[in-house]
Structure 1
Amino acid sequence: MALVAPTSVAAQPDTGQETPRYTSALSSLTVLFFMMGFITCLNDILIPYLKTIFQLNYTQANLINFCFFGAYFVMGIPAGWVVQRVGYKGGMLAGFVVAALGCFLFYPAADSRSYPLFLAALFVLATGVVLLQVAGNPYVAILGPARSAPARLTLTQAFNSLGTTVAPLLGSWLILSHLPTLDTPQAAAAIDVRAVQIPYLGIGAVLLVISVLLGLLKLPKIVHAIRQDDARSQAWHYRHLVLGMVGIFAYVGGEVAIGSHIVSYLHLPDVMSMTPAAAGNQVSYYWGGAMIGRFVGAYLLNRFNPGRLLAFNAVGAVVLVVISALTRGEIAMWSLLAVGLMNSIMFATIFTLAVAGLGRHTEQASGLLNVAIVGGAVVPLLFALVADASTLRVAFVLPVLCYLYILWYGLKGHVPQQQ
């Protein structure tokens, strides 16, 4: 992490290129985004692991996503208040410490083989991630020219995707490789829970080290200029923000619903008949596509209209999901994994379009947008209910609906209207 001199800067409209000081600060934040992605994507590994150890159906296993992303709904607005009081850096520091506590709680949860304790630990871990999101995303969005905000946040989100790419590979090796060949109650009772305890203890320790290093950094402080036309308003009075909240809900819901069920989908006989460990390795292609797409998107978003590029990617996601649902074998696998490439720019673009022009309401808006990440709890649970009632293929209609909304938001919904 690079150290930068302390400074206060006013959040302004596009006034030019980013300064080297901004560049140093943004470079320092890449570790934050990497860890957020790494922690979140490990849920894709935890779901098949806990599904086996506790003999759960799809709906029960998706309580993992419900508790993790449900924390965004419960803690999103409080996190916004915290960031308003302690600042962006203080919010990030608190986020790392709380997330570390959640990781440490995995040890007693695994030791007691208690599914409710696992869910409680996930909620605490997610609360820390919520603080990191609420502080980190708007900080990147406003730390520089407004015109390049989508590209800037997309670039830092690429390091988030690096974390989501590494997590399935490491998680499959450390966790899924310990699953038994036969999925029976007797085999589940013999699973070594240290496969979960040791990795999460290590992650917690790393988070604490990062918090110490972050405390030593002197990041630029943001001071919002107060406009006369926003003196009486609240963030939710802005239509493009409210519609952006729905967009974030849809994006996270669709992305997580797909990512959380790739292992189960590739395990199906009419898809690839892969073992959980082998299928877990394939998940890295899904998130790796998002990483590549974000690096490319950071370039493209500086040259093309962000809303239109968002719509283009949404169309691509719809086409790929439909192809996967209607085919078998490698075509079904690779078309679904390629959806990650289409997901790449969605979060950053929706987020920056939604907070555009909000000024002093940016922290509040960030909290509201993070509440909308509860889509990662709701949509996968609905996906699981449909899968239990019919098939995984039929359940893919839900992500399709999510991407169709994002298509509309990119074309029309993000355009601000006069108050």
Structure 2
Amino acid sequence: MSNSSANKQNSTLIAMAILTFMFFIFGFVTWLNGPLIPFFKLACELTESQAYFVTFAFYIAYFVMAIPSSGLIERVGYKNGLSLGLIIIAVGAFMFYPAAETRTFGLFLGALFVMGTGLAVLQTAANPYVVVIGPRESAAARISVLGMANKFAGFIAPLALTTLVLSNMADYTADKIAALDATAKETALDSLALQLQAPYIYMGLVILVMAVLIKYSPLPEINLDEEDTVAHQSLFQQIREVLKRPQLVLGVITLMLYVAAEVLAGDSIGSFGKKLGVYGDNGDFYLKLTSFTMTAMVIGYILGVTLIPKYVSQVTALKLSGLLGIVLVLAIIAISPSTMVTLPGLPELPLVIILVALMGLSNALCWPAIWPMALEDLGGYTKIGGALLIMAIIGGAIFPLLYGALADSINITTQTNDIAVKSGNQLAYLILLPCYFMILFFAIKGHKYRSWSRA
């Protein structure tokens, strides 16, 4: 191996190590939203649909801030962009303190929007970075490594929040709160909200330290426009040009629908479990269910790292993901929630809860496969293409609201053993069926198009 090859390999390894650490932070911050939904529903006295504004406020920031983030990174560079994104996340974490002090849902949503803005900056910088720092055919495997870190953090985050912070949720059940008089109820709910202050302050401090470390790290800069293709083009001209590339446009649509599926699988399972009475011995087990979905995703990422591209192409992996998602959605809708399963070390669980968690397996390889397939052949337009893909994360903002509205509106009264044969939450998963069909289409044909005249 020549010195230049060895230096390039070392540079890639350093970048991957730093980015893996970054994606762990992405996951920890993002997947706290799952347990926060039922928490805010209780603490701020919300309906099912109102509670899903947690995901809307967080993910809408990606759509609003992705293009500005691209311009910011153009000016300050990738390394400085990563540091700045971390600082913004820390500011959002600190905003939880006044929000909890006043128990104001609007302030909590503002804090989540600020955190989502910081993550938009980080994602806009990090995802194109990992695609171009090594061979494109192994990009899905590299993104899978980052995904494992992201979802491992997603496994830890709900457990950490419930174990260290919300371990007394059995004292704050809806029935116990409803039995209190007005003054005692306000006091109890205020006390519940205040439990979020300390963890988010500590998290903000840790993230600030990371911002400094990234600033002075040996992370190399990259140049995605080596041929000076877009240097003299306006942002509008760049967007107009990339919209001529069907592989990117279809990739953006596919990524939006995939993110909808991923967010719903991770963030709705807790509320669904609570609806079905999954409380466990301590009354808080439903808050931990997001970890089940994250476990399934970690397994999927491990398979991706092991099999792609040596045994399975990223295209084949995406096809399998779409097919599995379709099967799981149909099964979730068809099976009665009174069908129970027993797993070692766990309370008895409805089978449909396990199936929702298994959607994490069907979702795991979508992000790492869609990104390189959508950005292929973009050259100097990779950066703006990456920004449009980040905007597609709006799927995580819109679909949970649709899911919550459907869950509220569907009213089926037939009961079996005091459990609805089909709850509104369960039937609302039907909105994910077209998402998985689009993923399957993009894997089979959509990613191959290079001209709209041939699409």
Q: Under a length normalisation based on structure 1, what TM-score does the superposition of the two structures give? A: 0.91
Deviation at residue 326 of structure 1 after TM alignment: 2.1
2:252 counterpart of 1:251: no
Number of residue-to-residue matches in the alignment: 405
Give the partner amino acid of 1:25.
A
2:323 maps to which residue?
A: 315
Deviation at 1:416, TM superposition (A): 3.6
Match for 1:377 among 394, 397, 402? 397
Aligned AA for 1:359? G
Which of 187, 190, 195 is equivalent to 2:188? 190
SS at match of 1:30: helix
Bigger CA drift: 332-341 or 41-50?
Answer: 332-341
User: Which sections of structure 2, spanning at least 5 residues, go unmatched?
Assistant: 342-350, 411-423
Using the alignment, how far apart are the partners of 2:429 and 2:226 within structure 1?
45
Describe how 1:393-412 pairs up with structure 2 within 5 A. Answer: 393-412=426-445
Q: Distance in 2 between matches of 1:167 and 1:266?
A: 18
Q: State the superposition RMSD in angstroms.
A: 2.3
- Maintained 8 Å contact 1:249/1:372: yes
SS at match of 2:145: helix
Residue 108 of structure 2 is aligned to residue 118 of structure 1: yes
Residues 5-404 of structure 1 correspond to what in structure 2 (within 5 A)?
19-179=9-169, 180-183=172-175, 184=177, 186=180, 187=185, 189-191=187-189, 192=191, 193-223=193-223, 224-226=225-227, 234-269=241-276, 272=278, 277-303=284-310, 304-327=312-335, 328=337, 329-330=340-341, 331-390=351-410, 391-404=424-437
CA distance change for structure 1 residues 235 and 189 in 2, over 3 Å: closer, same or farther?
A: farther
Q: How far off is 1:176 after superposition?
A: 3.7
- Shifted more, 307-316 versus 32-41: the winner is 307-316
Sort the Cα spacing of 1:147 and 1:220 in 2 relative to 1 into closer, same or farther, 3 A.
same
Superimposed CA distance per residue, residues 146-204 of structure 1 (whole angstroms, 9 cap, x where no aligned partner): 12111111211211111111111112223443431334354464032232111111110
The two structures have a TM-score, normalised by structure 2, of 0.84
Structure 2 residue identity aligned to 1:226:
E
Following TM superposition, by how much is the alpha carbon of 1:325 offset from its aligned partner in structure 2, in angstroms? 2.5
Q: Secondary structure at the match of 1:376?
A: helix
Tell me if structure 2 keeps the 8 A contact 1:54–1:188: no
Any conservation in 1 of the 2:92–2:112 contact (CA below 8 Å)? yes
Q: CA deviation at 1:237?
A: 2.3
Alignment partners' CA distance in 1, 2:402 and 2:93: 27
Rounded to whole Å, the distance in 2 between the matches of 1:63 and 1:182 is 20
1:301 Cα deviation (Å)? 1.9
Q: 1:363 to 1:16 in 2, by over 3 A?
A: farther
Q: Would you say the 8 A contact 2:37–2:271 is kept in 1? A: no
Alpha carbons of 1:228 and 1:333: their partners in 2 closer, same or farther (altered >3 Å)?
A: closer
Are 1:173 and 1:277, in contact at CA under 8 Å, matched by a contact in 2?
A: no
Q: Counterpart amino acid of 2:398?
A: V
Q: Over residues 18-50 of structure 1, what are the superposed CA-to-partner deviations in whole Å (9 max), with x where a residue is unaligned? A: 712211221122110000011000000111110
**What is the aligned-residue identity percentage?**
33
User: C-alpha separation between the residues in 1 aligned to 2:69 and 2:133?
Assistant: 20
Give the Å deviation of 1:337. 1.1
Q: Larger C-alpha radius of gyration, 1 or 2?
A: 2
Give yes or no for contact 2:85–2:122 (8 Å, CA) kept in 1: yes
1:306 and 1:349 in contact (8 A); partners too: yes
Can you give the 5+ residue segments of structure 1 that lack an aligned partner in the other structure?
1-8, 10-14
- The separation in 2 between residues aligned to 1:49 and 1:104, in whole angstroms, is 19
